Copies of this chain bind each other. A is one copy, B any other.
Amino acid sequence: MPTAQRAPAAVLLRRGGERLLFDCAEGTQRQLLRSNVGLIELREVFLTHYHADHYLGLPGMLKTFSLRGRNVPITIYGPPGLRDLFEALRRIFGKLTYTVELKELRPGDELLRQDYRLLAFAVAHGVSAVGYAVVEDARPGRFDVQAADALGIPAGPERGALQRGESVTLPDGRTITPDTVLGPARPGRKVVLAGDGGPAETVIEAARDADVLVHEATFCQEERDRARETAHSTALEAAGVARAAEVRMLALMHLSNRYFGGEVAREARTIFTDTVVPKDFDTIDVRFQERGGPLLVKGGALQQRPDREAVPTREETAE
């Protein structure tokens, strides 16, 4: 349930020009309006499961889009049960000016995108539920200017082609393969949103080496029994998952209304130091590893002109 300080579940992932919303609790459209993102015409929403605190913002948001005369379609993804849910929700939002596509995903299903993939994985919440892993493709290795100079590769289109992973033939007839001037491929980023659930092997597997694991911590250890009964995690359990998966940062959310955040962070940090408990409108800048890795930006979604973008600029991509 919400508190005065904390809205219920909704996480927006920004990547390049894409905006992916994960869960859409009551009030999400207004949180977006209040943020520096605005209530943009989202193309895709991913639901983790169908407890009301994860989707109740959807009918109102769909209705608002319609009142604005939206015509681009929207796709809602979720575990089995999505069509059933929308039979009930349609009664609420009625006829829209655009198409709503529903796509049910089972654990193991994968969406292949141009340079990343989105994987649905099993979680342990006792109901039809999935988590989502956003996994970028590896990037080409760093271009070795000295090696290129030594090989006599002229500054020009040949270097660009090599950087993109293509072989080139020089005017003197030599063929240069990219591996001679490129360092090892550099990993892409990986962000894992586990949704609700108790600590699970499937989450550890899906979150392996992630830059950021967004995990619930509904309770602290003092309520461990309650966590078991309700198929939720304690902060310590979430930290255990993060440690086992060797993620770079653990972001805890979905706190019971009796917790304020500090105690949750402290409990998790006893075994996993790089834990954050973001507040409403905080952002996490998922920088590439060589640029320092993930960084919590307090109030990052409220800054009028964010001085740092959580996406690679054209220069970074091309470097």
Tell me the A residues contacting B by CB distance below 8 Å: 1-4, 7, 26-27, 29-30, 33-34, 52-53, 56-57, 59-60, 63-64, 67-68, 85, 88, 91-94
CB distance from A229 to the nearest CB of B (A): 13
Which of B2, B30, B33, B67 makes the CB contact (< 8 A) with A29?
B2
Report yes or no: B92 in contact with A1, Cβ–Cβ below 8 A. no
Instruction: Tell whether A2 pairs with B26 under 8 Å between CB atoms, given A52-B59, A52-B63, A88-B91.
Output: no
Chain A interface mostly = helix
CA A64 – CA B7 in complex, angstroms? 13
Residues of chain B contacted by A26 (CB below 8 angstroms): 26-27, 29-30, 56-57, 60
In the complex, 7 of the A-B residue pairs with CB atoms within 8 angstroms, ordered by the A residue number, are: A1-B68, A4-B30, A26-B56, A53-B60, A56-B92, A88-B88, A88-B92
Cα A92 to Cα B85 in complex, Å, equals 8
Q: A26-B57, A27-B30, A57-B26 are in contact. Are A52 and B4 (CB under 8 A)?
A: no
| Contact A56:B59 (CB < 8 A) given known A1-B64, A67-B1 | yes
Q: How many Å from the CB of A264 to the closest CB on chain B?
A: 19
Query: Max chain B CB contacts within 10 Å: which of A27, A34, A85?
Result: A27
**In the complex the two chains form, what is the Cα distance from A4 to B37 in whole Å?**
11
CB pair A60 B56 closer than 8 Å = yes
Q: How far is the CA of A189 from the CA of B30 in the complex (A)?
A: 35
Residue of B nearest to A67 (CB): B1
Give the chain B neighbours of A30 by CB distance below 8 A.
2, 4, 7, 26-27
On whether A92 and B52 interact (CB within 8 A), knowing A27-B26, A27-B30, the answer reads yes
Residues of B within 8 A of A4 (CB): 30, 33-34
Complex contact A52–B60 (CB within 8 A): yes
A3 to B34, CA, bound (A): 8
> Inside 8 A of A53's CB, which chain B residues have their CB?
60, 63
Measured CA separation A29–B92 after assembly (Å): 19
Report B-chain residues with C-beta under 8 Å of the C-beta of A29: 1-2, 26
Contact between chains at A3 and B52 (CB < 8 Å): no
**9 interchain residue pairs of minimum CB distance:** A88-B91, A1-B64, A27-B27, A4-B33, A26-B60, A2-B30, A4-B34, A56-B60, A52-B63
- How far does the Cβ of A45 sit from chain B's closest Cβ, in whole Å? 16
Chain B contacts for A92, CB-based, 8 A: 52, 56, 88
